[in-house]
Amino acid sequence: MKTILLFLSLAIILPLSALATCATTDTPTNQVWLGVLDTNGKPLNASNRYWIRPAYTTMDIGGVRLANLDDQQQTTTCPTSVVLSNLPKDDGIAVYFTPKNPNKYQLILASSPLNIHFYFDYPLCSNFAVWKVDNLVSKWPPILHTISTGAKLGNPNDFSSWFQIKPLGRNYKLVFCLESTTYCRDIGFVRQNGYRRLVLSEKPMPFVFKLDDRIGMASCYA
């Protein structure tokens, strides 16, 4: 009798635990594997370029681009400060999203780490394409954690260069999370030198992603 009971309970427990194992294998980090959609409702694809645009168009803001802001210690003539365009019709400079952990469908998933890098159609500033967060070591509040370019693409050790896209209502926000910590901050902007400059912020900026389907051309920047 005891043997039968044992057998029965094993028969019930084993398939259940097998199921549980499968479930955890599919979602290793307990994340929701949510695709990010562009303004046409199509999934974001790592092999495509997108303009990052404000979700709500006002009279004086357009897409994300670069500017040369005075307070930066410029080691280059390339603009490195990530800002919003002051022209609503300007889509900005298109970017690629490159996931840290690519999948075979090249899908860009919400809440998973990725590099964001500008696409330039000439090589002059190609070392200043990959986004990073500045001043991360300094925790003192008055220091702005500005977003600039100059990181290396696909460098797992550069913790300042991994961003995430997260849903924000029907739109999206950009988020920066420090790996293996609970530190996560939204990306918003501050006004600086006539620009709205992207920074880590309490107030996330709602964005949408518009496919740049032009072939071999990028917008030039001022």
Phi, psi of 33 (to 5 degrees): -85, 85
Q: By CB under 6 A, name the one of 33, 56, 105, 183 that touches ligand NAG.
A: 105
Tell me the window of 14-22, 41-49, 79-87, 120-128 that interacts with ligand NAG (CB under 6 A). 41-49
**Residue with token string 């003539």:** 77
Nearest distance, CB of residue 32 and ligand NAG, angstroms: 17
The residue with its CB nearest to ligand NAG is 45
Q: What angle do CA 198, 203, 205 make, to 5 degrees?
A: 55
Does 33 engage in binding with ligand NAG (CB under 6 A)?
no
Nearest distance, CB of residue 137 and ligand NAG, angstroms: 37
Supply the Cα-derived Rg of the chain in whole angstroms.
21
- Which tokens belong to 142? 């008055």
Tell me the window of 14-22, 23-31, 42-50, 127-135 that interacts with ligand NAG (CB under 6 A). 42-50
Q: By CB under 6 A, name the one of 45, 146, 148, 219 that touches ligand NAG.
A: 45
Counted residue by residue, the chain has a size of 222
- CB atoms closer than 10 angstroms to residue 189: 21
Q: By CB under 6 A, name the one of 106, 111, 127, 155 that touches ligand NAG.
A: 106
User: Do 176 and 148 contact (CB within 8 A), yes or no?
Assistant: no
Nearest distance, CB of residue 215 and ligand NAG, angstroms: 13
- Which tokens belong to 115? 């590099």
> Which residue lies nearer to ligand NAG by CB, 49 or 145?
49
Does 107 engage in binding with ligand NAG (CB under 6 A)?
yes
Tell me the β-bridge partners of 99.
114
Q: Which amino acid is at 154?
A: G
- Which tokens belong to 121? 């159609």
Does 47 engage in binding with ligand NAG (CB under 6 A)?
yes
| Chain positions contacting ligand NAG, by CB under 6 A | 43, 45, 47, 105-107
